[in-house]
Amino acid sequence: MSYSQELDIALLAVQRATLLTQNVFHNNAKGTLSKDDRSPVTIGDFGAQALIISALRHNFPNDEIVGEEDASSLRDNPSLAEQIFALVKESKLDDSSAESQLGGPIKDLDAMLTAIDAGNSGGGSKGRIWALDPVDGTKGFLRGG
């Protein structure tokens, strides 16, 4: 079985998410929160997860996705959610055809939050499952390396 479409979409989705994480990386204010396990999460984590899941959902709506983040803390912090959505809106590929393959831009703040929460699969033994950790090594990312 060929996975060329999946590979193409995954690469484009990661390219688009990289635009966002590079923007965050070069900005001193990374919008850090602490999760329940005391590990950090940045606006880059949330934004990249939203962009990638949105693209995967558009192309493979029946696939399960296990993501690292959920949007509950963003729902409790509307100003942070708006800050992330502004970054998400800015993160577009130069190639309009590629952008269209990914489903285009995320429509609004609620769609972004829904995309983040779509990474809530518990996994399982049926169907295909995507595993997503948008910024692997968040502590290093925060230190600038």
Active centre residues (catalytic):
45, 138
Of 18, 117, 25, the C-alpha closest to 75 is 117
Handedness of CA 47, 93, 97, 108 (dihedral sign): positive
Residue that has been written with the tokens 């949105």 in this structure: 54
Helix (H) or strand (E) holding 136: none
Answer whether 21's CB lies under 8 Å from 135's CB. yes
C-alpha separations of 38 from 29, 34, 35, 137, 139 in Å? 19, 5, 5, 14, 12
